[in-house]
Amino acid sequence: MFEKILIANRGEIAVRIIRTARRLGIATVAVYSDADRDALHVRMADQAVCIGPAPASESYLDGDRIIAAALETAAQAIHPGYGFLSENPDFVEKVEDAGLIFVGPSSQAIRAMGLKDAAKRLMEKAGVPVVPGYHGDTQALVALASKANEIGYPVLIKARAGGGGKGMRLVSDPDAFPDALAAAQREAKAAFGDERVLVEKYIQTPRHIEVQVFGDSHGNAVHLFERDCSAQRRHQKVIEEAPAPGMNEETRAAMTEAAVKAARAISYSGAGTIEFIVDASEGLRPDRFWFMEMNTRLQVEHPVTEMITGVDLVEWQLRVAAGEPLPRTQDEITVSGHAVEARLYAEDATRDFLPATGTLHHLRFPDNIEAARLRIDAGVAEKDAITPFYDPMIAKLIVHAPTREEAIEGLAGALEKTEIAGSTVNLGFLTRLLRDDDFSAGRMETGLIGRKQDVLTKTAPLKARHLAAAIAATSGAASSEDTSDPFSTISGYGHFGPLLHKRTLVNGEEAVEARVAAQADGALAIHLGDDEASRPIIVRRDDPTRFASWPGHITVFEGADALTLKVPDRLQAAEESGGGDRLRAPMPGLVKLVRASVNETVQKGQPLLVLEAMKMEHTITAPHDGVVAEIATEGLQVNDGAMLVRFQEAE
């Protein structure tokens, strides 16, 4: 077994690999970009090496720099995780040429499965069923349109390289084929540098079911049963589970046999996934599944397989890469119970799943759930930032239970107990999907989310009791960072009744005015609006409403939904009017340009620097006249709230 490995990845998969390596007594080396200098995987590893600037093309995709880091730290092997260089055969060859071991398949196996058209031709020869379609080299419009007519509409145009739904178009009308083809080719070229496509029959009621396979260098190959990944948005997986709902033994036997046959056809060694498209219009049948593609790496959804089989797939990867045979035979691999996984992302489901950024000022996961086993694979910790440079995954929550129903309910409950403030996340969407009638009943197909997106992304309305709880939580604070207890600080004597303290929150662009009074029993009476005679909402110290205060904001949790309001900071307003001496970043970003210097006298409204965030530039101006004492340097990556400029104190 290895003594030290380098992990050529970041986030939750790097953390996941470190945990298994630590259990096996293997030292780990993390690599990181400038944006990840303080990331969780860097803090957890035994050693860490900076490999370049924030853009992935200059760091995590720089194979030469990663190999140099492995040699510098005396690592014996490189684990690629998933994404980045994990399926790059040229990188594999460079790793081996450097005298290192790549924890994964051979470059020949990756190349054999790297292009969808070539892989399907190979599978046809091996006797694995493939979707009816055209997988040849001809790319002329006339030829491809003719093939589409032969196959029969609707058809799917797909980029032969890459994945993630890029370069893919569904065509139902022959007249729309030319424009769809041109669009798919443009997108494929931009995403993968390869505009070539293939054309396939579109399955009307498709399910995405994949089989985990594993091979070694001794000629052994096994499967670890199937996973269902049909819950997708824009061809990207959202919730995965194992085993597949409605799977019967006859179909399972046919599908797993085909998967192992595919692995043996390329002498596969390591962890891999054979993905099948399934026609579920008449249930799962052994003659209604077809090979789609092979992922020659570990999958994001691998934990559900681990939960039902009791196998640590990362450990198997390391053992096989070290030359050991597979730890178990096929007969020794069995299924126990059901597992469901949800991908928790920083994204706005109400805005078509637009990626979000922000600092995770408050991050709480439940410790456990009833009647089920909860696993959390997180790549971040509280106070970490979600930057615009990489995939915005926060964590994966996985639940294992005796039955599918218990696993689903357990996962929904775990999501409802998860609290995140500082970034928009998809917790509410995930919970509504898990409790959707069709999903709960196992009536899934890849278009389910798209058909129900409006309902699944609709957030809970802000209720009066939530506003009252938020007002109460911030009532004792002199500033947005004050943690004073409002039940102790709201007091005072009024001759004709209790004193009313005016408080304001901001919901979007709307100011929420309220008056707060302390009651004799210690509770707070909240009058929303300007009507002092209105019936107040009573908030007590033991009120069950959950909330989190963070700089300038308060987030109220309602089930899995998080409702965030801005808190006007009275001390900050006073400071600014009197010439406050600090200017802070309004969001995480990169200091792109500095337009002022130390000791320079500036005027209110004068541009001081340019902050780049979410691929947009934001000009930061002086809030008042003053003299610059300190200013951030160009190229600095900052979190929201970080000091950008300090002014000299006024005499």
**Active site amino acids:** 297
The one-character DSSP state at 552 is T
Q: Is-contact 450 542, C-beta < 8 A?
A: no
Q: Is 358 within 8 Å of 422 (Cβ atoms)? A: yes
Please check whether residue 612 is in contact with residue 567, taking contact to mean a CB–CB distance below 8 angstroms: no
Cis amide linkage into residue 607, ω under 30° from 0: no
**CA 393 – CA 344 distance, rounded (Å):** 6
Q: Tell me if 236 sits within 8 A of 199, measured CB to CB.
A: no
Q: Structure tokens of 173?
A: 């009308």
How is residue 372 written in tokens?
């089920």
How far apart are the C-alpha atoms of 452 and 444, rounded to whole Å?
Answer: 12
Q: From the CB of residue 464, how many other CB atoms can be counted at a distance below 10 Å?
A: 10
Which residue in 301, 278, 291 sits closest to 227, CA to CA?
Answer: 301
- The sheet carrying 601-602 orders its strands as 582-584, 643-647, 626-631, 601-602
Q: What is the DSSP letter of 382?
A: T
On the question of a cis peptide bond just before residue 154, with omega within 30 degrees of 0, the verdict is: yes
At 525, list the tokens. Answer: 């009476």
Contacts of 281 (CB under 8 A, 6+ apart): 204, 205
Per the CB < 8 A criterion, the answer to whether 242 and 208 are in contact is no
